[in-house]
Structure 1
Amino acid sequence: MKHLVVLLFLSLPLLAAPSISEGTLDLRNYRLTPKSIIRLDGDWSFFWNTFSSYPTIQELPREHTFTIPGFWNSHTHEEVQLGPYGFATYYLTILLPEDRPPILGINSNAANTALRLEINGTEIHASGIPGESRHESTPKYLPRYSFFRADHDTLHVTLHISNFEDAKGGPWFPLVFGGADALRGIRLGNMQRELFYFGSTLIMGTIFLFMYLFGTLKHEKYELFFSLSCYTAALRISLTGERFLIRIFLDIPWEFFLRLEYATLSLLILFYSYCIFFFFRKIYSPRILKLITYTSVGYILFFCVTPPQIFTRTITPYLIFIALMLGYLLLVNLRGACQKIHTAQALLAGNIIVFISAIHDILANTLIFIRPPLLPAGVFILLLTQAGIIAYSFARTKHHTIHLIKKLRRTNEALTAFLPREFLALLNKQDLTTVNLGDQVSGDMTILFAEFQQRDGVKRHITMEELNDHLSYISPVISYNNGFIDKYLHNGLMCIFPSSCQDGITAATEIVSATEQNNSPLDISLGLHRGTVILGTVGSQRRIDTTVISDTVNISSRIQALSKIYGSKITVTQEIIDTPQVKDAFTYRILDSVRVKGKNFPITVYEVLDGLREREFTMKCATIDLFYTALESFLQEKYTHALTKFLHIREQTPEDPVINMYIERCNSALKGPSRQATTKNI
């Protein structure tokens, strides 16, 4: 902060310090301290086409003066207006007070185009090599803070300047004299400020470049051109002011850096024009954009192929063109703000600052007034507005993204109600977006079919409320036992248990038990079979559905239909019973041997007794041995013996439909061979 205050003083007249008059600065009555700062603006003694040093310069007549800073192009010397090319000596006598700091310093910032600074005849700084002709001089811009001991009461300051390259010659930036502490503070403050501007601009450019490279809207090139604008501005900052890039590469010729400095000016207006164009595409005139493009590119080519003596003459009209184009960009931004385009108001504030600072620097370049450049600060303020826009956009995007995520979660949850997560897992898919037409997987699985009927026996449609109420306690049972509902059918459903038969049987018994415990008005019958199935997606690209294809599904459905005949709650096939996890874990009895259409061999079906009401379960378990004895006689065609045993069982379980079915079969067989019991077809 201290350095910024010092810089502020540099830009204001220092009323307390004496002024230069006729090549002399009298400080004998001035309190000169290590913190003192004096701008050496004023009338220096001027010797045209002469290089002279102290003490011989004292012998020359001091007839002419020249106001520093200033270009000698418009200076009249001996009634002749000087041109841009030539050389000269500037001479200033400084009378020091007796009470003065032991170390003093002077800042010789820049001059067109070579400079040598001497104090009391001793060279303390050189920027290039001043010469009396183009061949003898070497141009260079190299600001320098030089320090020396104040051992004499009088300082003889001599400036040797030559220019044979630029369209304007002479010292164009004020020299600063004062205490060593003050000048070191200025130097440190300038370097810190410019490096801060350079780093901030570079970082912001990188951020916008990444936003473009990793963004989804690459056709919107606002981020790209703003990034290029930032990189160009950072390069220009390193080439002006303290010129720290030139300090790093001292051996590179002066012309290269001069061309690069001019190129950055053209590229900056070019890139930023495209930036504004993509931000306000609807109100930005393409003709103006073409004008800026052709002019900027043409100007870059012009000073790349012409010598500095020519292209430096065009800087003033080109600066006027830039000022006009910046005014147009500001007008476009203003129209966008009036139309309430998103974040246009914030961008307008930054563009106003950039416009003012650019106009300031253009006027300072023509020496209408002398002030430090403001464009780096203006660009930095623009970056701050962009950072604010980014922060606001990110916050808005984050809020919108969170809203979309919540909505997407709700959508996914709703979609998983139509397509179970377990089905996706079997297909090795993480979510619905990765499901493609034709995805499939095969394996051994247990298929369960369930059908609901009115418990009161009245044939009527089951209402939606009754069905949903029934499913509310059936669905959790299926999920808990590692299964999932694949389809809801008319008055029923189809379930898949990918892991084991035990999961399917356990779920079936718990469903029957839950139905009884909840006193549901609906009765249920279940059929299970295990075998190889294929799960996959079918349909078209516009409409995809899931399906399960195999004979296992067909057999499971037909086995469930047999439950109505046998009066059983849970009917399973031999493949289920033969599974080790089921065979010894559940109570079951054989029901019948049936023939399925399309199969060459009959299928043995069983009734699982687990899950039945306690009374029914106890009666059926008590008669299992007698039932198997009767069934064995029936299969051996000993129908009379079998009938006797079945009748005996019916006395104990009069409501068992299976016993009544076999009694009927025995009676039919006893009446004649034509009515002999045969395997049932389903």
Structure 2
Amino acid sequence: MYLPEVRTSFRVTVGNRVVLSGFPGQNKQTTFPSAQGQSFTFIAKDQIQIKIEVSNFHHKEGGLPNAPIFGTAEAIQNYILAESTMDITLTGALFMFGLYHFILFFYRNKQREAFYFGFFCLVFALRLPFVGSKTIYAIFPNIPWELVIYIEYASVFVLGILFLWFVDGLFPRFIETKLIRYFSAFVQFILVYGLIIKPEFYTEFEVVFQVLGVVFAVFLGIRLYQMVVKGLPDSHIFFLGYLILFFGFVYDVFLAYTGEGESSLSQIAVFLFFGVQSTIVTLRTTRTFHKKVLLKEEFETINEQFILTNRFYAKFIPRDFLTHLGKESIEEVTLGDSSEREMTVLFADIWEYWDIIYSIPLENRILFTNSYLGRIGPCVRKNNGFIDKYIGSAVMALFDGGIQNSIKAAEDIQWELESYNERRRGFGYLPLHAGIGIHSGDTMLGILGEEERLESTVISDTVNLASRIQGLTKKYNAKILVSLTSLMLHEDLDTIPYRILDFVRVKGKQETVMIAEVLIPGIDSISDQKIAFREQFEAAIFDYERADFVSALKGFREVHSNNPDDIAAQIYIERCEYYQSAGVGEDWDGVSAWEK
């Protein structure tokens, strides 16, 4: 025989055997309440007398809520085991549901519904051992009856308020938040008040609580249906779960009131309800994760576009220029940014550019220019320089690593141009000749313009002088000219074939600039001859500076006779012949005036 919970204590007598749950007495003082069910085995006879004594001084309802269950010992034990297994399984499942949703909330704390649903699951898991078959007694046989009843009643209120907050998390502001807060305050009051008063008092209001529960369930059902009508995301799934829970409990209540026995439909409904709601939270988490993946991909796409944009803008404002300004990206550049530093400036230009430009169709002029410039840029960059600007066919490049990088870049440009000319000759085009001027000194790098149009630039006498030196290349038919003061800074000067070419003074300034011609072995026969006779040429230069025009003229004529294409030697022959006949004053210093 198995006798489930009796309110609030009982004594069963079968023959000489007595089984107690609590201790039934004649009054409240002699009664000890308990909600623990009891089972026992007895030998069946043709006639047997079973006496059940019940006392109740602690609960609104008394007597036997459920009829005793009779059967074989094995059948009764299997029944109790099945009930306990069901409770433990549901408790464990709900606990795992709760833990899972707490983990979801931990990784995404903005997902409030995961927190409230996880809390809801844990409270429900805590409630299950205190209701139904009261499996809590298997763990704590001496647990106070008052605590069991308090948790049974209090958990209903806690579950109700957690469910409302869960709905608010899923569908924000669809249920008035202020109303939920008021209800939360009421529940807190009930919980505290229930600890103060006795169960026999607050169980008197059980019908009131049931009516409030029905009103609560109907109100919530109406609001959920309105959410479905409005087409809120996941509202139809949520409403389905709510209907399963609602009708499961209604069916069990109906069976209880009609006396047709119990069913496990309510427990199955609870489990299905939790499964449905967990599905909603999981779907939202999955959508959120998918959205994060899409946002990540979108961010990566935007970032790639940003990088490409930066690279594109870097073609207008070089990355090295930004580095010298102390900027990480072009977005940081503002009007007026500047930096003062010592740099080497290289100017390169084609001597025949304008003659060629005017001889080709208009639509081919840009193509021709870019074809040439496209060969200059790589030579500059691979020698640690960067191009600051293009001025027609002219290129202005900057170097921060010493004069040797600019010299090497100039040599590479001339070799690249030589290769380009071989291709041009194959198509019957005239060869190109480029002159390169180099000078080192202090420079001011900065951003000029106005807010809607910015441009990087370099302002200094160094730039001006490098440009003027480049302008002399065509006059002297020199491939590379460099100021001698800059050339002397070369780390391996002994490896560079060069010759001193001229002493010039810029208009408006007193300083004399010595110009040297850097020679490239093997690039053409003219350069090789210049290298072979550079000592004679420089000796004649110094004779010229001392106004020893007879000796200078002899030296220049010797150089020119061996290399008739040495234009510089021809120029100095003409100068010597002129000054030899015209004479010079006492202030003669051999310096040429630079009028441009």
Q: TM-score range by the shorter chain?
A: 0.7 to 0.9
Match of 1:579 among 483, 486, 489: 489
| 1:64 aligned residue | none
CA–CA distance in structure 2, aligned partners of residues 638 and 590 of structure 1: 17
> 3-state SS of the aligned residue for 1:372?
helix
Q: Does 1:354 align with 2:245?
A: no
CA–CA distance in structure 2, aligned partners of residues 398 and 584 of structure 1: 61
The one-character-per-residue Cα deviations of 1:260-319 (angstroms, maximum 9, x if unpaired) are 5244324323323432444xx7xx4xxx42464255234324414544645755432432
> 3-state SS of the aligned residue for 1:457?
helix
CA–CA distance in structure 2, aligned partners of residues 173 and 470 of structure 1: 102
CA–CA distance in structure 2, aligned partners of residues 658 and 375 of structure 1: 104
> 3-state SS of the aligned residue for 1:610?
coil
Q: Does 1:473 align with 2:378?
A: no
| 1:97 aligned residue | none
Indicate how the Cα distance of structure 1 residues 607 and 225 shifts in structure 2: closer, same or farther if over 3 A, else same: same
Q: Give the gaps of 5 or more residues in structure 1.
A: 1-24, 26-38, 59-119, 213-222
Match of 1:518 among 390, 400, 420: 420
The one-character-per-residue Cα deviations of 1:559-610 (angstroms, maximum 9, x if unpaired) are 3344344433322233442234341332222233344578663333322222
Q: Which letter maps to 2:385?
A: G
Indicate how the Cα distance of structure 1 residues 232 and 469 shifts in structure 2: closer, same or farther if over 3 A, else same: same
TM-fit CA distance, 1:397: 4.3
| 1:483 aligned residue | 385
> 3-state SS of the aligned residue for 1:618?
helix
Q: Which letter maps to 1:609?
A: L
The 8 Å contact of residues 445 and 458 in structure 2, kept in 1 or not, is answered as yes
Q: Does 1:383 align with 2:278?
A: yes
CA–CA distance in structure 2, aligned partners of residues 630 and 463 of structure 1: 43
The one-character-per-residue Cα deviations of 1:25-50 (angstroms, maximum 9, x if unpaired) are 8xxxxxxxxxxxxx989xx9x9x998
TM-fit CA distance, 1:644: 3.4
Q: Which letter maps to 1:194?
A: T
Indicate how the Cα distance of structure 1 residues 320 and 292 shifts in structure 2: closer, same or farther if over 3 A, else same: farther
Match of 1:53 among 2, 12, 15: 12
Q: Which letter maps to 2:93?
A: F
Q: Does 1:330 align with 2:228?
A: no
TM-fit CA distance, 1:642: 1.8
| 1:226 aligned residue | 113
Q: Which letter maps to 1:235?
A: L
The one-character-per-residue Cα deviations of 1:467-489 (angstroms, maximum 9, x if unpaired) are 33223333333332233334344
TM-fit CA distance, 1:628: 0.3
Q: Which letter maps to 1:270?
A: L
The 8 Å contact of residues 232 and 267 in structure 1, kept in 2 or not, is answered as no
The 8 Å contact of residues 446 and 457 in structure 2, kept in 1 or not, is answered as yes
TM-fit CA distance, 1:442: 6.1
| 1:651 aligned residue | 561
> 3-state SS of the aligned residue for 2:125?
helix
CA–CA distance in structure 2, aligned partners of residues 160 and 439 of structure 1: 95
> 3-state SS of the aligned residue for 2:384?
coil
Indicate how the Cα distance of structure 1 residues 227 and 560 shifts in structure 2: closer, same or farther if over 3 A, else same: farther
| 1:12 aligned residue | none
> 3-state SS of the aligned residue for 1:568?
coil
The 8 Å contact of residues 447 and 497 in structure 1, kept in 2 or not, is answered as yes
Indicate how the Cα distance of structure 1 residues 472 and 663 shifts in structure 2: closer, same or farther if over 3 A, else same: same
| 2:186 aligned residue | 299
TM-fit CA distance, 1:185: 6.0
The 8 Å contact of residues 570 and 609 in structure 1, kept in 2 or not, is answered as yes
CA–CA distance in structure 1, aligned partners of residues 340 and 81 of structure 2: 81
Match of 1:626 among 536, 542, 552: 536
Match of 1:450 among 329, 336, 348: 348
Q: Which moved more, 1:175-184 or 1:369-378?
A: 175-184
Counterparts in 2 of 1:501-516, with a 5 A limit? 501-516=403-418
The 8 Å contact of residues 448 and 529 in structure 1, kept in 2 or not, is answered as yes
TM-fit CA distance, 1:632: 0.7
CA–CA distance in structure 2, aligned partners of residues 540 and 157 of structure 1: 105
Indicate how the Cα distance of structure 1 residues 612 and 546 shifts in structure 2: closer, same or farther if over 3 A, else same: farther
TM-fit CA distance, 1:186: 5.4
Indicate how the Cα distance of structure 1 residues 210 and 510 shifts in structure 2: closer, same or farther if over 3 A, else same: same
Q: Which letter maps to 1:231?
A: G
Q: Which letter maps to 1:228?
A: F
Q: Which letter maps to 2:163?
A: I
Indicate how the Cα distance of structure 1 residues 229 and 617 shifts in structure 2: closer, same or farther if over 3 A, else same: same
TM-fit CA distance, 1:182: 6.7
Q: Which moved more, 1:227-236 or 1:656-665?
A: 656-665
Indicate how the Cα distance of structure 1 residues 390 and 224 shifts in structure 2: closer, same or farther if over 3 A, else same: closer
Indicate how the Cα distance of structure 1 residues 179 and 314 shifts in structure 2: closer, same or farther if over 3 A, else same: closer
| 1:609 aligned residue | 519
CA–CA distance in structure 2, aligned partners of residues 474 and 169 of structure 1: 103
Higher helix share: 2
Higher strand share: 1
The 8 Å contact of residues 98 and 122 in structure 2, kept in 1 or not, is answered as no
Q: Which moved more, 1:628-637 or 1:202-211?
A: 202-211
Indicate how the Cα distance of structure 1 residues 291 and 318 shifts in structure 2: closer, same or farther if over 3 A, else same: farther
The one-character-per-residue Cα deviations of 1:334-374 (angstroms, maximum 9, x if unpaired) are 3454xxx7xx2xx2353133312442465368566653333
CA–CA distance in structure 2, aligned partners of residues 536 and 195 of structure 1: 71
TM-fit CA distance, 1:325: 4.3
Q: Does 1:201 align with 2:98?
A: yes
CA–CA distance in structure 2, aligned partners of residues 295 and 624 of structure 1: 102
Indicate how the Cα distance of structure 1 residues 479 and 459 shifts in structure 2: closer, same or farther if over 3 A, else same: closer
The 8 Å contact of residues 161 and 180 in structure 2, kept in 1 or not, is answered as no
The 8 Å contact of residues 266 and 297 in structure 1, kept in 2 or not, is answered as no
The 8 Å contact of residues 11 and 24 in structure 2, kept in 1 or not, is answered as no
TM-fit CA distance, 1:416: 1.4
Percent of aligned positions that are identical: 22
TM-fit CA distance, 1:405: 2.0
Counterparts in 2 of 1:103-122, with a 5 A limit? 120-122=17-19
Q: Give the gaps of 5 or more residues in structure 2.
A: 257-262, 425-430
The 8 Å contact of residues 197 and 380 in structure 1, kept in 2 or not, is answered as no
The 8 Å contact of residues 444 and 531 in structure 1, kept in 2 or not, is answered as yes
TM-score by length of 2: 0.74
CA–CA distance in structure 2, aligned partners of residues 135 and 605 of structure 1: 122
| 1:413 aligned residue | 308
Q: Which letter maps to 1:447?
A: V
| 2:209 aligned residue | 315
TM-fit CA distance, 1:633: 0.7
> 3-state SS of the aligned residue for 2:13?
coil
Q: Which letter maps to 2:554?
A: T
TM-score by length of 1: 0.66
Q: Which moved more, 1:243-252 or 1:410-419?
A: 243-252
CA–CA distance in structure 1, aligned partners of residues 335 and 136 of structure 2: 60
Match of 2:163 among 269, 273, 298: 269
